[in-house]
Amino acid sequence: MELNFRSDNESPAAAQIMDALAAANTGTAWAYAEDHLSSKLDQAFSALFDTDVSVIPVSTGTVANSIALASCTPAWGSVYCSGSAHILNDESGAPEFYGNGLRLVAVDGIDGKYNAQDLNTLVRQNEGHGVHSYQPTAISLTQSTEAGTVYTPDEIGSISEVARNLNLAIHMDGARFANAVCHLGCTPAETSWQAGVQMLSFGASKNGCLGAEALLYFNQPEKREHAERLRKRGGHLLSKMRYVSAQLLAYIEGDLWLTLASQANRQAAAFAAAIKQHPSARLEFPVEANEVFLNWHADGFTHLADQGIQFLNWPGRDDLARFVFSHCTSDEETRILCTTLGAQE
């Protein structure tokens, strides 16, 4: 029993992914993403998303995000994102590095999301200063968000419409895209390109893989070269890319990715339900994916920790903690968590 709710990044890989690695490990294969598995990616993801997809396999979400943004933003361009976005707070300037000094600009919002109108107002306010200031050139949405909430296709569509009118490229950081799709019950297409998204960082590492992410360009095959050049210069063109591609193919095969994510979401929902019934605990944000932000008193958190439960005390907030559920969180683990919560008023 792990009782580790610190992060889905700490979960192991799924058995099917390990099997795929073993299956890929037979004989020689062309290097540098020219192998038989990597060459299947475009077709597999095009089928999954029901449109033309150019796939750039990489090892981390950070580089997927950074290549995506750098491929659509000049050094003097700015990217608008949520104030809680991973690209803004947790990547130590990787987008700025790959983008040669581009700037990220935070849009205020609630529950980890920003809306179309606030985006429009802020961008318009920052325009019109010519060469003297950054030129707004792109937006990034996080799906599911860092608050564990999920944008609806309609919300994304509204934001995309604003972005298109402002001539901004549209990127989605889908580190937890699987969890969002599970929640929405929609097709992956509906919450991505059909809602206006042009580039998607399709996450897999947090949800059952060892280290595999796919940067997807929808209906923009001409973007591939720029992305591949950035990947190479970033040192991300693995000689044995087959092992990344094998993970990605197994991950979407037979909707494994959704099976894994739904397990995680279900646990989060169970814990959210327990919180709602608790006399003093409350939810900081709606629980729509696999993360739960618990607003509670400090003694409560101490009690949970004393019982061996691992979670993340939110920096600078002694009344807030984050619990993340993964594909390998068991019903039993969640049951113990709920029970331990309930034992403390």
According to DSSP, residue 314 is labeled P
Using CB under 8 A, which residues numbered 97 to 126 contact its own copies? 97-103, 125
Which residue from 41, 48, 58, 195 is in contact with its own copies, where contact means CB under 8 A? 58
CB of 32 to its own copies, least distance (A): 7
Residue 206 sits in the site that holds its own copies (CB under 8 A): yes
- Binding marks (x or -) toward its own copies, 223..262, rule CB under 8 A? ---x-xx-xxxxxxxxxx--xx------------------
Which one of 28-36, 44-52, 189-197, 336-344 is the stretch in contact with its own copies (CB under 8 A)? Answer: 28-36
User: Helix 41-49 vs helix 242-252: angle between axes, to the nearest 10 degrees?
Assistant: 20
* Contact call for residue 66 and its own copies (CB under 8 A): yes
Q: CB of 266: closest distance to its own copies in angstroms? A: 18
Which listed range, 37-45, 86-94, 269-277, 296-304, lies at the site for its own copies (CB under 8 A)?
A: 86-94
Give the footprint of its own copies on residues 264-323 (CB under 8 A). 315-316
CA distance 68 to 218: 12
H/E stretch holding 214: strand 213-218
Which 8-27 positions form the footprint of its own copies (CB under 8 A)? 9-13, 18, 21-22, 25-27
Burial class of 240 by CB neighbour count within 10 A (0 to 12, 13 to 18, 19+): middle
Residues 131-190 that bind its own copies (CB under 8 A): 131-135
Tell me if 47 contacts its own copies by CB under 8 A: no
Stretch that binds its own copies, among 30-38, 165-173, 179-187, 254-262 (CB under 8 A): 30-38
Q: In angstroms, rounded to a whole number, what is the distance separating the alpha carbons of residues 64 and 70?
A: 10
The angle formed by the CA atoms of residues 92, 98 and 102, to the nearest 5 degrees, is 80
Tell me: does residue 222 bind its own copies (CB under 8 A).
no
Q: Which is nearer to its own copies, 195 or 321 (CB)?
A: 321
Long-range pairs of 94-101 with CB within 8 A, sequence gap ≥ 24: 94/62, 94/63, 94/65, 94/66, 95/65, 95/66, 95/69, 95/70, 97/66, 98/63, 98/66, 98/67, 98/69, 98/70, 98/230, 98/234, 99/66, 99/69, 99/70, 99/73, 99/75, 100/70, 100/75, 101/75
How near is the Cβ of 270 to its own copies at its closest, in Å? 19
Angstrom distances, CA of residue 49 to CA of 1, 20, 112, 158, 298: 37, 22, 26, 21, 45
Closest distance between its own copies and the C-beta of residue 6, in Å? 8
Specify the stretch interacting with its own copies by CB under 8 A; choose among 69-77, 164-172, 287-295, 336-344: 69-77
Selected binder of its own copies within 158, 205, 245, 344 (CB under 8 A): 205
Of 32 and 273, the one with the shorter C-beta distance to its own copies is: 32
How far apart are CB 107 and its own copies at their closest, in Å? 15
- Closest C-alpha to 103, from 114, 119, 115, 87: 87
In this complex, which beta carbon is closest to its own copies, that of residue 80 or of residue 134? 134
Minimum distance between the CB of residue 154 and its own copies, rounded to whole angstroms?
A: 29
